[in-house]
């Protein structure tokens, strides 16, 4: 076994690999960018080496810097985690050339499965069913449009390289194809350096079911059952579970055997995930699933497989990479209960799930469940990397039990600083249709009104925030220490004013409970005065943020909400669609901002006239930068 392992990654996956390596007696080396100098994975590792500035292309994607760190520290193996260089065949080859073991599949397998079009052609040749579509080399827009028409709408445009929903667009009609293609190719080029795409038929009630496979260097391969990852937003997974609800034993066997066949077809070794799309319009059936792609690495959702099998998949990876046989044969692998994983993100569901950045001024994650996290209270969620705060995993004898256990655990989380999707996750887990197993990839869009309701603070929340601003009752009996607004002329009105949605709200002090009390179940209230003066009130897994009323600040901000569009986070302006004098309609796209590995379209909040465009494509902008300013008058030519 290896004596020293370098982890070529960051965040929660780096921390998770370090935990297993430490248990196995392996010394660990972390690498870090300038933005991660104080990160949790750096503190956990036995050694740490700086590899560059914050941007990933100048640090975590610089293979030479990572290999130099491995040589400097005497690392015998490199674990790439997921993302970054984990599916980079050239990096795997460079490791081998340097005499360092790459903890992953051989470069040939990475290449075979790395390009979706070639992978599908290979799988079809191996007898694995694939989704109907166009996998050709002709990338002319007019040719791709013609192929989409042949396939029949709706279709999916998908980047040939990469994954994670980047470079993927669903297209409902021919008129929308050109714009969707341009956007998908641009995002694919930015994320993967390759703008080629394929076109495939969009399945009307798709279930995203993937199979965990493992192979060694002795010709052995097994499957560790399936995971259902159908709950997605913007093609990124939200909840993952194992096993898949409604999966019959014969379909499980058919899908598992197809996954093993796929792995053997490319001479695979190590951990891999074969992703299938299943048509759930008439329930899951053994003849209604198709190969989508293979991820030649460990997956974000691997903990649910670990929960239902009892195996440590990182340990398996290390043992296989060290030349050992697989720890178990297929007949000695069994399912135990049900597990569900929730991805806790710094993002704002009420604003279209835009990523949120800032200091985690409060981060109390739940007990009694598995929590994989790479951040701590006081850390900063930056615009440079994926905004995941933690993965929270619950395991129980039944699916209903696991969902209830996970929802209850998330209710006890306390998070203040960046906005999060915590309350959204709880609502997903408690949705009647989710509990009934009525899920597919369109679930969130269909239930968005109930999953992201307009949530306003009630009297108890307002009163708790008021007490936080006014201060708790003094510990002395001195009347001069009292903050109860007492005056000789009669009692004062004991209120604190806040600004919410542009309006002033008076919050009474008199009905508040104790502030900063422990969160004892869903009814508990905890308040925190944040560094910017806002008040965060946490209850039942939901955080309400209230801004104390400041008449001077309000006057300065008058009109800002309607006379301009500003960048919601730091990023790069990719496209500007309007110019001064244009009349725009509510919801019309104005510009595209690339931030946190995704494209974000900035749209008009109302019918308006563009007075000025303050940015140009290619501009790097901080959050709050004015992108488009609107005029108060009418468009040119209007009466």
CATH number, domain of 292, equals: 3.30.470.20
Residues 424, 280 share a domain: yes
The domain boundary residue, chosen from 554, 574, 609: 554
CATH number, domain of 145, equals: 3.30.1490.20
Instruction: For residue 482, give the 3-state DSSP assignment.
Output: coil
Q: How high is the mean pLDDT of the chain?
A: 89
Do residues 297 and 89 make contact, with C-beta atoms less than 8 angstroms apart? no
Instruction: Pinpoint the alpha helices (H) of 266-363.
Output: 302-309, 313-321
- In this structure, of 163-177, 435-449, 534-548, the range with the lowest mean pLDDT score is 163-177
- C-alpha span between 383 and 379 (Å, rounded): 13
Residues 414, 343 share a domain: yes
- C-alpha span between 297 and 92 (Å, rounded): 12
Q: How is residue 465 annotated by DSSP?
A: H
Residues 608, 627 share a domain: yes
Say whether pLDDT at 554 is over 90: no
- C-alpha span between 238 and 428 (Å, rounded): 9
Residues 323, 235 share a domain: yes
pLDDT tens for 77-119 read 999 999 999 999 999 999 999 999 999 999 999 999 987 778 8
- Considering the domain boundaries, does residue 262 fall inside one? yes
Residues 605, 521 share a domain: no
- In this structure, of 416-430, 489-503, 520-534, 535-549, the range with the lowest mean pLDDT score is 489-503
Do residues 507 and 535 make contact, with C-beta atoms less than 8 angstroms apart? no
Residues 435, 288 share a domain: yes
pLDDT tens for 206-247 read 899 999 999 999 999 999 999 999 999 877 899 999 999 999
Question: Residue 507 is encoded by which pair of tokens?
Answer: 């919050």
**Residue span of the structural domain in which 140 resides:** 132-201
Residues 601, 541 share a domain: no
- C-alpha span between 461 and 613 (Å, rounded): 40
Tally the domains of the chain.
5
pLDDT tens for 582-625 read 999 998 999 998 877 678 889 998 899 999 999 999 998 888 89
Say whether pLDDT at 60 is over 90: yes
Residues 569, 532 share a domain: no
Model confidence band, residue 283 (pLDDT cutoffs 50, 70, 90): confident
pLDDT greater at residue 311 or residue 288: 311
CATH number, domain of 27, equals: 3.40.50.20
| Predicted structure pTM score | 0.82
CATH number, domain of 626, equals: 2.40.50.100
Residues 55, 13 share a domain: yes
Model confidence band, residue 515 (pLDDT cutoffs 50, 70, 90): very low
Residues 446, 424 share a domain: yes
Residue linked to tokens 């009934």: 436
- C-alpha span between 190 and 176 (Å, rounded): 22
- C-alpha span between 172 and 497 (Å, rounded): 47
Instruction: For residue 110, give the 3-state DSSP assignment.
Output: helix
- Considering the domain boundaries, does residue 208 fall inside one? no
CATH number, domain of 508, equals: 3.30.700
- Considering the domain boundaries, does residue 163 fall inside one? yes
- Considering the domain boundaries, does residue 217 fall inside one? no
**The pLDDT value given to residue 476:** 52
Residues 527, 399 share a domain: no
- Considering the domain boundaries, does residue 121 fall inside one? no
pLDDT greater at residue 91 or residue 200: 91
Q: How large is the average pLDDT for residues 141-157?
A: 94
Name the residues annotated as catalytic: 297
**Between the CA of residue 193 and those of 90, 100, 167, 190, what are the distances in Å?**
14, 26, 11, 6
Question: Residue 402 is encoded by which pair of tokens?
Answer: 């696991």
Which parts of 194-248 are beta strand (E)?
197-201, 206-215, 221-233, 236-242
Model confidence band, residue 284 (pLDDT cutoffs 50, 70, 90): confident
pLDDT tens for 575-586 read 999 999 999 999
Residues 229, 304 share a domain: yes
- Considering the domain boundaries, does residue 229 fall inside one? yes
**The pLDDT value given to residue 568:** 82
Q: How is residue 325 annotated by DSSP?
A: P
Do residues 370 and 350 make contact, with C-beta atoms less than 8 angstroms apart? no
Model confidence band, residue 487 (pLDDT cutoffs 50, 70, 90): low
pLDDT tens for 397-423 read 999 999 999 999 999 999 999 999 999
Do residues 431 and 448 make contact, with C-beta atoms less than 8 angstroms apart? no
- Considering the domain boundaries, does residue 211 fall inside one? no
- Considering the domain boundaries, does residue 207 fall inside one? no
Among residues 374, 346, 345, 341, the alpha carbon closest in space to that of 358 is found at: 346
């Amino acid at each position: 076994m290896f004596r020293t392992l370098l982890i070529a990654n960051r965040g929660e996956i780096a921390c998770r690999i370090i935990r297993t390596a430490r248990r196995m007696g392996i010394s660990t080396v972390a690498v870090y960018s300038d933005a991660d100098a104080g990160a949790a994975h750096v503190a956990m590792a036995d050694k740490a080496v700086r590899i560059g500035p914050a941007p990933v292309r100048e640090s975590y994607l610089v293979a030479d810097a990572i290999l130099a760190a491995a040589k400097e520290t005497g690392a015998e193996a490199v674990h790439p985690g997921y993302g970054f260089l984990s599916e980079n065949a050239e990096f795997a080859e460079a490791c081998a050339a340097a005499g360092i073991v790459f903890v992953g599949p051989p470069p040939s397998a990475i290449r075979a499965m790395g390009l979706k079009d070639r992978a599908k052609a290979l799988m079809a040749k191996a007898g694995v069913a694939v989704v109907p579509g166009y996998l050709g080399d002709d990338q002319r827009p007019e040719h791709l449009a013609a192929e989409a028409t042949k396939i029949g709408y709706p279709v999916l445009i998908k980047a040939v390289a990469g994954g994670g929903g980047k470079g993927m667009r669903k297209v409902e009609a021919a008129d929308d194809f050109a714009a969707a293609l341009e956007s998908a190719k641009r995002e694919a080029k930015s994320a993967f350096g390759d703008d080629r795409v394929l076109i495939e038929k969009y399945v009307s009630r798709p279930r995203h079911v993937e199979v965990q496979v493992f192979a060694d260097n002795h010709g052995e391969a097994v499957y560790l059952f399936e995971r259902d990852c159908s709950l997605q937003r913007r093609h990124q997974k939200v909840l993952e579970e194992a096993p898949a609800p409604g999966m019959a034993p014969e379909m499980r066997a058919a899908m598992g055997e197809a996954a093993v066949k796929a792995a053997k077809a490319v001479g695979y070794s190590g951990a891999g995930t074969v992703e299938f799309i299943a048509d759930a319009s008439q329930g899951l059936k053994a003849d209604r699933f198709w190969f989508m792609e293979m991820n030649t690495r460990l997956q974000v959702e691997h903990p649910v497989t670990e929960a239902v099998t009892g195996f440590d998949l990182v340990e398996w990876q290390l043992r296989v990479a060290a030349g050992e046989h697989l720890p178990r044969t297929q007949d000695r692998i069994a399912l135990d209960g049900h597990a569900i994983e929730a991805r806790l993100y710094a993002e704002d569901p009420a604003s279209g799930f835009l990523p949120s950045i800032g200091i985690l001024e409060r981060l109390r994650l739940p007990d009694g469940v598995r929590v994989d996290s790479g951040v701590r209270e006081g850390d900063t969620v930056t615009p440079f990397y994926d905004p995941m705060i933690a993965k929270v995993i619950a395991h129980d004898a039944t699916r209903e039990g696991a969902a209830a256990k996970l929802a209850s655990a998330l209710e006890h989380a306390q998070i203040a600083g960046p906005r999060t999707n915590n309350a959204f996750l709880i609502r997903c887990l408690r949705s009647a249709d989710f509990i009934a197993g009525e899920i597919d990839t369109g679930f969130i869009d269909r239930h968005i009104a109930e999953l992201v309701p307009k949530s306003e603070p009630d009297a108890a929340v307002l009163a708790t925030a008021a007490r936080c601003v006014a201060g708790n009752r003094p510990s002395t009996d001195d009347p001069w220490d009292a903050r109860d607004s007492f005056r000789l002329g009669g009692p004062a009105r004991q209120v604190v004013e806040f600004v919410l949605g542009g309006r002033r709200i008076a919050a009474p002090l008199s009905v508040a409970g104790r502030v900063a009390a422990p969160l004892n179940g869903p009814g508990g209230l905890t308040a925190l005065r944040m560094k910017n003066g806002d008040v965060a009130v946490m209850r039942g897994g939901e955080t309400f943020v209230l801004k104390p009323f400041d008449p001077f600040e309000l006057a300065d901000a008058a009109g800002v909400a309607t006379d301009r569009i500003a960048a919601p986070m730091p990023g790069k302006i990719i496209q500007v669609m309007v110019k001064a004098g244009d009349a725009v309609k509510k919801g019309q796209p104005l510009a595209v901002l690339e931030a946190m590995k995704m494209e974000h379209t900035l749209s008009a909040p109302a019918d308006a006239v563009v007075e000025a465009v303050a940015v140009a494509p290619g501009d790097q902008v901080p959050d709050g930068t004015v992108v488009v300013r609107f005029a108060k008058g009418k468009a040119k030519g209007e009466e």
